Structures are given as C-alpha cells and as structure tokens.
C-alpha cells in the first residue's frame, strides 16, 4: 500500500512562479516517485470555496480579518477561524484524504494542522517541517518597514510562536542552508534536520529567443532579473538607482525585470516608467518566456543586499550558463560557486552598476559542477527514501 503525504502550502503550486512555490513543486514531484502526494493549498479569490484540497478564500473578507496583505500567510489561520463552515469543510477534506505523513512547507499553516492533530482529524501521522528560511529573521526585516509599536511586536511574536511550534513538534525537518539547520536545531536539538539546498530546473527550452534578441537590439547590454514582490528584491532594484544606473547613457544597458518585483518597485517607491529609463518592467511571465529572455540576454543580475528569501534565483542564474553579476550577499548558501566562470560579484550597488557596464561577457559558460549539483532532480534525488526511512521508523515505534 502506497503511503499518503499531505503537503500543506499557503499558495497553489501547480504553476509555480516564485521561489517558495518552485521549491514546494519540486519537492512534491520528487516525493511522488514513491508516495501519493496531494497539496492542501490556499489562495485569495472572490468568495469562499473548496475543490478537493484547493481552498479559495474571499479576498475582501480575508483582508477585513487579517488587516494587511503582508500577513496573508499565517493570517489564513485567523480567517479560517472566522469562517467555521469553511474551516469544517477543510478539515473534512483532510480527514477524507487521511494522510500518513504531513509535510508542511514553511511554518505558517501549523496552527491549523496542530489543531487537526490534537482533535484526531489527522491520525498518528509523521510530521515533516519543510523550512524555506529563518522565517522570524525574514519577517522581522519585512515587518519593521511596515508595522510600528505593539502591532510590530505582536506580529513578530506570532511568527516566532508558529515557527517554534512546528520546529519542536516535527518528527523531521528539512532546511535550505547550514545556517537554517543550526537555527532549527537551536529550537529543537533532538529533532533531525536534513539539508536540501535550493536548486532550479535549468533553462531547457528557449522557444522565443529570437524574438527577445530583436527586443534587445537597441541596447549594448541586457540584464535579466527575476523576483517576487518581496522587500529585499524591491529594495535591491531601487539600490541600483542609487548606484547610478539611471546616469548611464541611453542605450548602454537595460534591466528587464520579470515577476512582481517590478510592480512592487514602482508601488513601494512611487515610481513611474519615466523614472526608470534603464529598466523594463515585464511583470509575471511564463517560464518559457523568462528562459528565452535569459538565453538572449548578456546575463542575469542579482541585486539583493539583505533580508531573507529562498534565493532560488541564484541557482537559476548559475544554471543558465550566462554571465552572472550580483552582490556577494546574493550568493549566501552558494559560496562554493562564487568563483565559477562568468560570475562577477560586488560589494556595493555602485560597483555592481559599474560591473554591469564593464565585465567581460561571453555567450555562454560551461559549469559542470553546477549542472551536477544544483538541478532539482539531483538535489532531491534521495528525499523519497529519507522520508520513507523516517516513516517506517515511526510506524515500527508505534
């Protein structure tokens, strides 16, 4: 009989478009080689509804309860608490699935799962915490720019409580970096933590490369940045302005920004397109479109100077085979690859802007160790066996 895993996320992952979704998607893909895996996911929509294990939350109603979109991860628990009928339907769907293993991606839905375990809606399942970050440190960086006083303290306390709770209750934890391993062990010294770094699927197809080459022809150098609406991404792009990117002559270089980091930059700093002469804000795009742009570009830029985050974009940049220019900070967790061919890292935004304008750019670079070590299928190759090992151990222990 194939064991069943309930993966729990705060977002749908069938069409992943940012770091957390991508990590969750490839973890699920790996585990499906040995287990039946279904995902309990949540997304904001018009009206409350549930189809299987996909839960839609009414956007306006949710915002009334949680007050701020930056709380729309752990805040989902509060919203479900205010909608007992919807919550009961979620619990019923989980009971019907009857998982043998619960895999929680990021800590935020732990309050819901903890209640289900306590109420026996979920049986004696193996609990696996799949950490993506030191969430307290990440949220502290984000919240300090948004909240003040008692609101800041209470929101951070909630994150700490949830993260500590799942770390201590988990039978097994997964982490992204050595630092995250140490962080989890500091909260739960007796719990095993397995290290699975972030990776990427690589750029296998670039069907629209010729079209992007045509778009790029008016600029000497075209750099691609891919990032979500996440403060370190937004602030990193804004730092390029402070570093003098807008002072470069017209036609010298262009930064093509994919994902919601571009709209986030404009909204956060009140900028118009005319304020960003050397940027092109592309917004959300399909994977093939992004891959095609990267294949046609001079390379990938990684202007992230602080904060947390999955830094999957670093693996993506390395696996692209293109020139990589970025901050040294953007290679946290990837220190072994800082000296790869075609990688140029800098200490300040001004130095990075100068580097974007001056580094030697080749059409492509061969990085054998990157190919071998950073593709998802290689990184996660033994994950199903590891989970099975802990599941069988728990089953024998009773």
State the Cα–Cα distance between residues 356 and 360, nearest whole angstrom: 9
pLDDT beyond 80 at 311: no
Arithmetic mean of pLDDT, 94-115:
99
Q: What is the pLDDT of residue 1?
A: 81
At 197-210, the pLDDT tens digits run 999 988 877 899 99
CATH topology of domain 208-374: Rossmann fold (3.40.50)
DSSP 292-326: HHHHHSSEEEE---SS----HHHHHHHHTTSEEEE
pLDDT beyond 90 at 100: yes
Q: What is the pLDDT of residue 332?
A: 87
Q: What is the pLDDT of residue 204?
A: 78
Query: In this prediction, what percent of the chain has a pLDDT beyond 90?
Result: 87
pLDDT beyond 70 at 50: yes
Q: What is the pLDDT of residue 228?
A: 87
SS (H, E, C) 144-161: CCCCCHHHHHHHHHHHHH
Local confidence band at 308 (pLDDT 50, 70, 90 cut-offs) = low
Local confidence band at 95 (pLDDT 50, 70, 90 cut-offs) = very high
Arithmetic mean of pLDDT, 278-300:
95
State the Cα–Cα distance between residues 366 and 343, nearest whole angstrom: 12
Q: What is the pLDDT of residue 16?
A: 84
Q: What is the pLDDT of residue 231?
A: 87
Q: What is the pLDDT of residue 371?
A: 86
Task: List every span in the chain annotated with CATH 3.40.50.2000.
Answer: 4-199+376-397, 208-374
Residue 168: Cβ within 10 Å count: 14
Q: What is the mean pLDDT of the chain?
A: 95
State the Cα–Cα distance between residues 166 and 131, nearest whole angstrom: 10
Structure tokens at 191: 């719990």
Q: How far, in Å, are 215, 300, 312 from residue 199 at the CA level?
A: 29, 16, 6
Strands of 279-283's sheet in order across? 279-283, 253-258, 221-226, 299-302, 323-327, 343-346
pLDDT beyond 60 at 37: yes
Q: What is the pLDDT of residue 145?
A: 87
- 4-199+376-397 — its CATH code? 3.40.50.2000
Cα angle 287-289-291, degrees, rounded to a multiple of 5: 70
Local confidence band at 398 (pLDDT 50, 70, 90 cut-offs) = low
Backbone conformation region of residue 270, classed left if phi is above 0, alpha if psi is from -120 to 50, else beta: left
Residue 43: in which H helix or E strand, if any?
A: strand 36-45
State the Cα–Cα distance between residues 69 and 153, nearest whole angstrom: 17
First-last CA distance in the chain: 18
Q: What is the pLDDT of residue 310?
A: 57
């Amino acid at each position: 009989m194939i064991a069943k895993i309930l993966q729990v996320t705060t977002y749908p992952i069938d069409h992943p478009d940012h770091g957390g979704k991508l990590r969750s998607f490839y973890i699920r893909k790996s585990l499906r080689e040995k287990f039946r895996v279904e995902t309990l996911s949540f997304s904001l929509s018009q009206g409350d509804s549930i189809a299987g294990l996909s839960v839609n939350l009414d956007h306006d109603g949710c915002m009334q309860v949680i007050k701020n979109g930056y709380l729309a991860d752990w805040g989902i628990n509060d919203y479900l608490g205010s909608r007992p009928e919807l919550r009961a339907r979620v619990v019923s769907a989980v009971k019907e699935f009857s998982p043998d293993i619960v895999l929680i991606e990021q800590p935020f839905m732990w309050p819901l799962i903890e209640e289900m375990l306590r109420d026996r809606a979920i049986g004696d399942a193996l609990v696996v915490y799949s950490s993506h970050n030191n969430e307290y440190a990440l949220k502290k960086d984000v919240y300090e720019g948004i909240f003040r006083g008692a609101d800041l303290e209470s929101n951070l306390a909630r994150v700490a409580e949830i993260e500590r709770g799942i770390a201590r209750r988990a039978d097994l934890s997964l982490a992204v970096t050595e630092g995250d391993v140490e962080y989890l062990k500091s909260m739960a010294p007796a719990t095993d933590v397995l290290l699975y770094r972030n990776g990427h699927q690589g750029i296998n197809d670039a069907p629209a490369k010729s079209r992007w080459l045509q778009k790029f022809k008016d600029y000497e150098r075209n750099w691609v940045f891919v990032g979500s609406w996440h403060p370190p991404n937004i602030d990193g792009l804004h730092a390029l302005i402070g570093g003098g990117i807008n002072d470069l002559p017209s036609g010298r270089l262009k930064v093509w920004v994919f994902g919601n980091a571009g709209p986030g930059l404009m909204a956060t700093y009140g900028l118009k397109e005319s304020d960003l002469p050397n940027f092109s804000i592309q917004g959300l795009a399909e994977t093939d479109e992004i891959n095609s742009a990267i294949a046609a570009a001079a390379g990938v830029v990684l202007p992230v100077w602080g904060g947390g985050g999955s830094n999957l974009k670093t693996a993506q940049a390395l696996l692209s085979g293109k020139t990589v220019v970025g901050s040294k900070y953007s290679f946290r967790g990837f220190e072994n690859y800082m000296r790869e061919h075609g990688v140029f890292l800098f200490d300040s935004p001004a130095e990075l802007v100068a580097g974007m304008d001056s580094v030697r750019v080749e059409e492509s670079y061969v990085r054998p160790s990157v190919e071998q070590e950073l593709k998802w299928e290689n990184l996660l190759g033994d994950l199903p066996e590891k989970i099975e090992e802990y599941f069988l151990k728990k089953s024998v222990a009773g």
